[in-house]
Amino acid sequence: MNAENFYIVATAPNDPSLQVRISGPYLTEQAAHADLEAAIIEAADIDPSAAKYNYTISKVESRKPGVIQHMAAHG
């Protein structure tokens, strides 16, 4: 895995400083885009307020999994 990967990031609409990597890492931006809709639906299933968040794809230096992958690994 690369040190820099793409993640789907959720940002709270009323507090832009509140950001959470919900899905990833992805090796390419295209892979993140392909998973974007499913990640938003899954986030809303976990927390209905997630439907109100703004979603972007960001390149981040990290090897840690997003929330959805973390929960899947420990659920």
Report the sign of the C-alpha dihedral through residues 20, 46, 8, 71, in that order.
Answer: positive
When divided into structural domains, the chain yields a total of 1
Contacts from 40-49 at CB under 8 Å and sequence distance 24+? 40/8, 42/68, 43/10, 43/67, 43/68, 46/71
pLDDT for 44: 92
For 53, the domain range is 4-74
Tell me the whole-structure pTM to 2 decimals.
0.82
CA–CA separation, 25 and 45 (whole Å): 20
pLDDT tens digits, one per residue of 18-69? 998 999 999 999 999 999 999 999 999 988 999 999 999 999 887 788 887 7
CA angle 23, 27, 31 (to 5 degrees): 65
